[in-house]
């Protein structure tokens, strides 16, 4: 397996080689070798584009070498970039200081080769020292991430002896025994799953068996921060095949560890079998990929697809609530916030998606019996907001769950086709009535106008009046402001007068 460098990569490697040769002349005692490590080597061998270079140094700290490189660039008329010093941050898997810069527009990180020693109760190395290339390769998570490209010899170095063959065979394997690798850093369990799904590779049996080990499972729960779980899950659902990740999580019985359920004493309702999240994700993937008999909605952007998969895998929590600060919140929101530490936007989006399932289901079925009117549909779309197409896709996936086997067969039956058509008819009705963007419909009469019209003081009742304005607009799409004012006066003028009389 050979690596073909782009013109820019070749020039960067030449610059780094020249810097090394120059440095050796001024410091003959310095035994310095530069190797590109990890993901870049793997991706280049797979024919994938990668613009980030991690340069492993055999005998210098990264920041010191980065400064020397910048001196060379300056002296030879190349543009230079600032050097960022990334301090150690174990929660971000940064166990050594890294120097980050740009060379000819390529992102380059400099770090030294290292060996690591771990303590029983932590995934953070207790001792880090300069190491040999072999030490560095063996401490990595999987063999395909332990490959080096020697800048001076232009050769790929496979120091685990299995990286190249595993890359060719599509296997995920640990450099040391899986037990030792996971015991040192249990996060590698989750990374193995993520890389298997990213490249559609297979976990070797040793990894599968080791993940069943109670000692490893306990370490996974006790040594990994919830933020790290969230970071890995985020990468899975943004990756090319979230479903593959979910299937591995389920087959390895890791759902409860990753998507940890709320404390039992706070729970209201029951959690469903985690397989529901996997199955709905299978249908979701199918819905997003089919070209015939598809949902009549334009392709969804990557951010929405990510949100759909997150909501889908958490469907087992859809009917569960959690008591929190005298409120009851959806259990899925609790899991996103506490078990994964993902942003509040994910909490809000998933909560909205779950709340939209029943209204959209009911609307799709009712629309089969009688075409829904503007008021009925307008209320639903406005309540859901701009992401109603995304919510509709999830609703379809859930509706089709009983037909999963038919979908998997590759020849969907009549129930599947009828189910999709049911929702397409709903979309058609929404379009016919011009309600696609009714969530952004502005009030034809604003709050101040209502106050002046009814001669009232501002108060909580104003929200009800404004809602009535919007509903009138749904029913009278061509209505004028004057007509709406008359409606509001007739509906609320007398009511306001009565309330004033009753207050005396």
Q: What is the pLDDT of residues 447-488, one digit of tens each?
A: 999 999 988 888 888 999 999 999 999 999 999 999 999 999
Q: What per-residue confidence (pLDDT) applies to 303? A: 96
**338 burial type by CB count under 10 A (0-12 exposed, 13-18 middle, 19+ buried):** middle
pLDDT tens by residue, 83-131: 999 765 554 444 567 899 999 999 999 998 976 554 555 545 544 557 8
Residue partners of 129: CB distance under 8 A and separation at least 6 = 114, 115
Are 106 and 92 in contact by the 8 Å Cβ rule? The answer is no
48 contacts 54 by C-beta, under 8 angstroms: no
Q: Are strands 106-112 and 52-57 parallel, antiparallel or unpaired?
A: parallel
Tell me: pLDDT of 494 over 70.
no
Whole-structure pTM value: 0.90
Give the pLDDT confidence score for residue 278 in this predicted structure: 99
Give the list of residues 6+ apart from residue 204 with CB closer than 8 angstroms, or none. 171, 172, 173
User: What pLDDT does residue 504 have?
Assistant: 34
CB of 260 closer than 8 Å to CB of 274: no
Placement of tokens 């501002």 in the chain: 458
**373-410 residue pLDDT tens:** 999 999 999 999 999 999 999 999 999 999 999 999 99
Cα dihedral sign, 430-431-433-439 = positive
Instruction: Output the CATH code of domain 1-168.
Output: 3.30.460.10
The pair phi, psi for residue 107, each rounded to 5°, is: -75, 125
pLDDT at position 305: 97
Residue 34 pLDDT greater than 70, yes or no: yes
Q: Give the pLDDT of residue 493.
A: 76
Residue 298: strand, helix, or coil = coil
Supply the pLDDT for residue 328: 94
Q: What pLDDT, on the 0 to 100 scale, is given for residue 456?
A: 87
Q: How many residues are given for the chain?
A: 504
Q: What whole-number distance in Å separates Cα of residue 39 and Cα of residue 49?
A: 11
Mean pLDDT of the chain: 92
Q: What is the mean pLDDT of residues 409-417?
A: 95
Q: What's residue 422's pLDDT?
A: 97
pLDDT tens digits, 133-144: 999 999 999 999
Say what the pLDDT of residue 148 is.
Answer: 98
CATH of 170-258, one of 3.40.50.300, 1.10.110.30, 3.30.300.30, 3.90.1170.50: 1.10.110.30
State the average pLDDT over residues 358-386: 97
Kindly state the average pLDDT of the residues 233-254.
98
Residues above pLDDT 90, as percent of the chain: 83
Residue 39: its pLDDT value, please?
93
C-alpha distances (whole Å) from 291 to each of 287, 288, 397 are 9, 9, 16
Cα within 13 Å of Cα(209), Cβ side: 7
Across 352-359, average pLDDT: 98
Question: In the 3-class helix/strand/coil scheme, how is 341-395 assigned residue by residue?
Answer: CCCHHHHHHHHHHHHHHHHHHHHHHHHHHCCCCHHHHHHHHHHHCCCHHHHHHHH
Give just the sign of the alpha carbon dihedral 150, 154, 160, 163: positive
Task: Give the mean pLDDT of 401-424.
Answer: 96
Buried b (16+ CB within 10 A) or exposed e, 271-303: beebebbbbbbbbbbbbbeeeeeebebeebeee
Cα separation, 142 vs 127, in Å, equals 21
**pLDDT value at residue 94:** 44
The residue ranges of every structural domain in the chain are 1-168, 170-258, 273-440, 447-503
For 269-318, the pLDDT digits (tens) are 999 999 999 999 999 999 999 777 788 888 889 999 999 999 999 999 99
CA 227 to chain centre: 13
Neighbours of 381 (CB within 10 A): 26
- Give 501 or 13, the one with higher predicted confidence: 13
Long-range contacts of 320-323 (CB under 8 A, 24+ apart): 320/262, 320/267, 320/268, 320/269, 320/270, 320/271, 321/267, 321/268, 321/269, 322/262, 322/266, 322/267, 322/268, 323/266, 323/267, 323/268
Residue 60: band (very low, low, confident or very high) from pLDDT cuts 50, 70, 90? confident
Percent of the chain with pLDDT over 70: 93
- Exposure string for 412-449, b = 16+ CB within 10 A, e = fewer: beeebeebbebbbebbebbeebebeebeebebbbeeeb
Transcribe 10-78 into DSSP letters.
HHHHHHHHHHHHHHHHH-TT----EEEETHHHHHHHTT----EEEEEESSS-HHHHHHHHHHHHHHTT-
Other CB atoms within a 10 A radius of the CB of residue 85 amount to 11
504 vs 500: CA distance, rounded Å:
7
Instruction: Decide: 194 and 172 in contact? Cβ < 8 Å.
Output: no
């Amino acid at each position: 397996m050979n690596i073909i460098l782009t013109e820019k990569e070749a020039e960067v490697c030449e610059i780094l080689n020249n810097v090394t040769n120059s440095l050796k002349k001024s410091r003959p005692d310095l035994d310095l070798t530069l190797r590109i490590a990890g993901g870049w080597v793997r991706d280049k061998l797979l024919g994938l584009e990668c613009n980030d270079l991690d340069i492993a140094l055999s005998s210098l700290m990264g920041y010191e070498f980065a400064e020397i490189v910048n001196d060379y660039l300056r002296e030879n008329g190349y543009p230079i970039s600032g050097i960022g010093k990334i301090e150690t941050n174990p929660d971000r898997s940064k166990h050594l200081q890294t120097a980050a810069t740009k060379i000819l527009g390529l992102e380059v990180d400099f770090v030294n080769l290292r060996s690591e020693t771990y303590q029983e109760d932590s995934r953070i190395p207790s001792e880090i020292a300069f190491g040999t290339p072999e030490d560095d390769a063996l401490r990595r998570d999987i063999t395909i991430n332990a490959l080096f490209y020697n800048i001076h010899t232009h050769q790929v170095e496979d120091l685990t002896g299995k990286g190249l063959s595993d890359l060719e065979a599509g296997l995920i394997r640990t450099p040391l025994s899986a037990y030792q690798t996971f015991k040192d850093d249990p996060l590698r369990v989750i990374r193995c799953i993520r890389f298997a799904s990213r490249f559609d590779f297979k976990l070797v049996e040793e990894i599968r068996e080791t993940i069943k080990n109670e000692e490893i499972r306990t370490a996974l729960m006790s040594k990994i921060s919830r933020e790290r779980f969230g970071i890995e899950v985020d990468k899975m659902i943004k990756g090319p095949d979230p479903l593959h990740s979910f299937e591995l999580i389920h087959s390895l019985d890791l759902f409860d560890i990753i998507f940890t359920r709320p404390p039992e004493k706070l729970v209201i309702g029951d959690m469903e079998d985690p397989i529901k999240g996997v199955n709905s994700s299978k249908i979701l993937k199918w819905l997003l990929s089919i070209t015939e008999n598809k949902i009549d909605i334009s392709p969804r952007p990557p951010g929405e697809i990510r949100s759909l998969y997150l909501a889908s895998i958490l469907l087992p929590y859809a009917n569960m609530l959690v008591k929190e600060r005298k409120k009851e919140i959806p259990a899925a929101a609790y899991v996103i916030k506490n078990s994964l530490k993902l942003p509040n936007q994910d909490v809000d989006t998933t909560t909205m998606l779950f709340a939209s399932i029943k209204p959209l289901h009911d609307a799709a079925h009712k629309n089969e019996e009688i075409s829904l009117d503007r008021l009925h549909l307008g209320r639903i779309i406005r309540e859901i907001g701009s992401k109603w197409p995304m919510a509709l896709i999830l609703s379809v996936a859930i509706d089709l769950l009983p037909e999963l086997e038919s979908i998997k067969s590759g020849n969907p039956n009549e129930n599947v086709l009828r189910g999709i058509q049911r929702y397409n008819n709903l979309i058609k009705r929404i379009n016919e009535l011009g309600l696609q963007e009714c969530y952004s419909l502005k009030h034809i009469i604003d709050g101040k106008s209502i106050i002046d019209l009814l001669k009232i003081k501002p108060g909580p009742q104003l929200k009800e009046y404004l809602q009535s304005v919007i509903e009138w607009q749904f029913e009278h799409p061509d209505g004028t402001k004057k007509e709406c004012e008359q409606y509001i006066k007739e509906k609320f003028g007398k009511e306001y007068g009565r309330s004033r009389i009753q207050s005396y």
